[in-house]
Chain A
Amino acid sequence: MRDHASHWLGAYLDGELRRLRRRWVESHLEECTACQRELNSLKTLRALLQESPAMEPAIASGRFAAQVALKLPRRQEQPPAVRALEMGWRMVPVGLLLVLAFVQTVFIVAGAIRVALWLGLGGDVAAVVFPSSAGGVSFPDVFALSQASLVDAFQMTIGLVRSGAALAWLPVLNVLLLVVIGMLYWSWLASWWVRRRHQQLTASNGLG
């Protein structure tokens, strides 16, 4: 029976086969009388099924709709506070993105200020920000962070922090904030996924 097209005949009759499979069935049908008989039998069955009449509803359309309307339960509306909370929860990723953009802007501006001070544009303020004369770390050290390897950068950062420079905390703070924002985003994503699964389950139960 394996060589026959029996398995595909129903789908062939329904017009559901893809081109290659349909061609195969058609060429098979040209030479196989058993499959031709089976296809004819399926066609007869379809005709017989179609003969069975559809139901003539006893209740008129308008009355049916009215009866349904009478039985419709009141939908439980969400209170405004819950709706606001829901909206707020949905906006969490946007909020996090805005915070990230703000933090990065602050660090870029801080970096620009640092460069300006190092170039001597800030006058006496530079001495406060880069206390290199007090044995701390100079701006070139800070600048070197961007070119250093991860371990070196870490060690240099520790050195900068120990030196007590006013802007030395910035890279540390930046990394910390990035980690916090990243963690918050992943937590939100995880809770969103759990919530979605829960909603899908309850929705299919509701329909069942």
Chain B
Amino acid sequence: MRRAARRKSRPVEIELGLIRQAQRGDRRAFGELVRRHREGTINVVYRMCGDAALAEEAAQEAFIRAWTNLPKYKPRSPFRNWLYRIAVNVARDALRRERPSVDMDSVVVASPERGPEAAAEVEESSQRVRQAVLNLPPASRSVLVLREYENLSYREIADTLGIPIGTVMSRLNYARGLLRQTLTPYMEGA
């Protein structure tokens, strides 16, 4: 049991070490943190704004903000959650500046085994889902994205967004209610 716990805590310790080094100004340590959290951060921004190019740009902006604010970061909450908070805020700012659009190029083409018709169907369904998520109010969207795509617990979402757990729950209920209304035809077919 102890060995398992130790093995589990090792990556956390390594990350804490990287954070401490980066807080002291070590750019290489920060680079490692960027590599570790790049995918998650890009996806949070992408789910928030729905534009692949914008997502990568905004994710870079999130990391720059994280670097600037890193000396103030206290490892009471996981670094990932702190970073996601920045990413959500950056995505909101980016959305305010630019109109959201669904990037057709970013849609992953479905498996050819399903056949072209099935692939086209899946693609259309994915587009609809993404658009429906994008049409949610930003406050509910961020909660939904962190829960459904990043698998954060209610407590983690509350910490990340700085809102009470009750609000997390009500925003999720609201978002899911809206999505069920919008996506009814696709849900019946599913």
Flag whether B183 is at the interface (Cβ < 8 A).
Answer: yes
Flag whether A33 is at the interface (Cβ < 8 A).
Answer: no
Report the Cα distance A74→B173, complex, angstroms: 43
Q: Are B60 and A50 in contact (CB under 8 A)?
A: no
When distances are taken between beta carbons in the complex, the residues of chain B under 8 Å from A41 are 180, 187
Name the residue on A nearest B24 (C-beta): A75
Query: What's the count of A-B pairs with C-beta under 8 Å?
Result: 123
When distances are taken between beta carbons in the complex, the residues of chain A under 8 Å from B67 are 72-73, 75
Q: Which of A151-208 contact B (CB under 8 A)?
A: 199, 203-204, 206-208
Report the Cα distance A59→B25, complex, angstroms: 25
* Most interface-central of A56, A66, A207 (chain B CB within 10 A): A207
* Most interface-central of A16, A46, A61, A62 (chain B CB within 10 A): A16
**Dominant secondary structure at the B interface:** helix
Q: Are B64 and A48 in contact (CB under 8 A)?
A: no
What distance in Å separates the Cβ of B114 from its nearest Cβ neighbour in chain A? 12
How many of B's residues come within 8 Å of A, CB to CB? 54
Q: Are B147 and A48 in contact (CB under 8 A)?
A: no
When distances are taken between beta carbons in the complex, the residues of chain B under 8 Å from A73 are 64, 67-68
Mark interface residues in A34-78 (1 if CB within 8 Å of B CB, else 0): 000000011011111111111111110110111111011101010
What distance in Å separates the Cβ of B6 from its nearest Cβ neighbour in chain A? 27
When distances are taken between beta carbons in the complex, the residues of chain A under 8 Å from B180 are 41-42, 45
What distance in Å separates the Cβ of B48 from its nearest Cβ neighbour in chain A? 11
Flag whether B126 is at the interface (Cβ < 8 A).
Answer: yes
Name the residue on A nearest B34 (C-beta): A65
* Most interface-central of A11, A48, A72 (chain B CB within 10 A): A48
Q: Which of B16-50 contact A (CB under 8 A)?
A: 25, 27, 30-31, 34-35, 38-39, 42-43, 46
When distances are taken between beta carbons in the complex, the residues of chain A under 8 Å from B122 are 51
Report the Cα distance A49→B52, complex, angstroms: 18
* Most interface-central of A41, A58, A65 (chain B CB within 10 A): A65
When distances are taken between beta carbons in the complex, the residues of chain B under 8 Å from A66 are 31
Name the residue on B nearest A200 (C-beta): B72
* Most interface-central of A48, A52, A58, A71 (chain B CB within 10 A): A52
A-B contacts, 27 of them at CB < 8 A, read A10-B169, A10-B173, A10-B176, A14-B154, A16-B153, A42-B180, A44-B190, A47-B190, A48-B129, A48-B187, A49-B129, A49-B133, A49-B179, A50-B148, A51-B122, A51-B125, A51-B126, A52-B126, A53-B107, A53-B126, A54-B39, A55-B55, A55-B106, A64-B38, A65-B35, A69-B31, A206-B68
Give chain A's interface residues, CB within 8 Å of chain B: 7, 10-11, 14, 16, 41-42, 44-59, 61-62, 64-69, 71-73, 75, 77, 199, 203-204, 206-208
